[in-house]
Amino acid sequence: MHTKNYSHTGIMNFIALFLWILAMAPLPANAAAPQVRTQGQGFYRMTLGDFEITTLLDGTHPFPIDKVMIEVSKEEIARDLSRDGLTAPVQGSINAFLINTGPKLILIDTGAGTLYGDCCGHLLANLRAAGYQPEQVDEVYLTHLHKDHVGGIFLDGKMAFPNAVLRVSATDADYWLTPANKATAPEFLSTFFDSAIVSVAPYIKAGRFKTFSANEQLIPGITSMATPGHTPGHTSFLVESQSNALLVWGDIIHVAPIQLQNPKASVEYDNNPLSAQRYRRELLDLAAKKHYIVGAAHIAFPGLGRIRKNKHTYDWIPVNYEGAPGK
Give me the residues that bind Zn ion (CB under 5 A), please. 146, 148, 251
Residue/partner pairs of 153-158 with CB below 8 Å, 24 or more apart: 153/110, 153/113, 153/199, 153/200, 153/203, 154/113, 154/198, 154/199, 154/200, 154/201, 154/202, 155/113, 155/114, 155/124, 157/201, 157/202, 158/202
Q: How far is the CB of 120 from Zn ion (least distance, A)?
A: 11
Q: How far is the CB of 37 from Zn ion (least distance, A)?
A: 26
| DSSP track, 35-65 | P------SEEEEEETTEEEEEEEEEEEEE-H
Which C-beta is closer to Zn ion: that of 139 or that of 251?
251
Q: How far is the CB of 268 from Zn ion (least distance, A)?
A: 11
Q: How far is the CB of 221 from Zn ion (least distance, A)?
A: 24
142 within 8 A of 224, measured Cβ to Cβ: no
For 100, residues 6+ apart whose C-beta sits below 8 A from its C-beta are 51, 52, 53, 54, 106
Torsion sign, CA atoms 279, 120, 299, 323: positive
Which C-beta is closer to Zn ion: that of 146 or that of 208?
146
Which C-beta is closer to Zn ion: that of 45 or that of 146?
146
Amino acid 82 reads S
Which C-beta is closer to Zn ion: that of 178 or that of 242?
178
Q: How far is the CB of 108 from Zn ion (least distance, A)?
A: 12
Which C-beta is closer to Zn ion: that of 202 or that of 229?
229
Q: How far is the CB of 214 from Zn ion (least distance, A)?
A: 18
φ, ψ dihedrals at 288, nearest 5°: -70, -45
Q: How far apart are CA 105 and CA 111, in angstroms?
A: 17
Q: What residue is closest to Zn ion based on CB?
A: 146
For residue 89, cis peptide bond before it (omega within 30 degrees of 0):
yes
Q: How far apart, in Å, are the Cα atoms of 194 and each of 18, 44, 145?
A: 77, 32, 11
Q: How far is the CB of 287 from Zn ion (least distance, A)?
A: 18
Which C-beta is closer to Zn ion: that of 147 or that of 167?
147
Which C-beta is closer to Zn ion: that of 84 or that of 268?
268
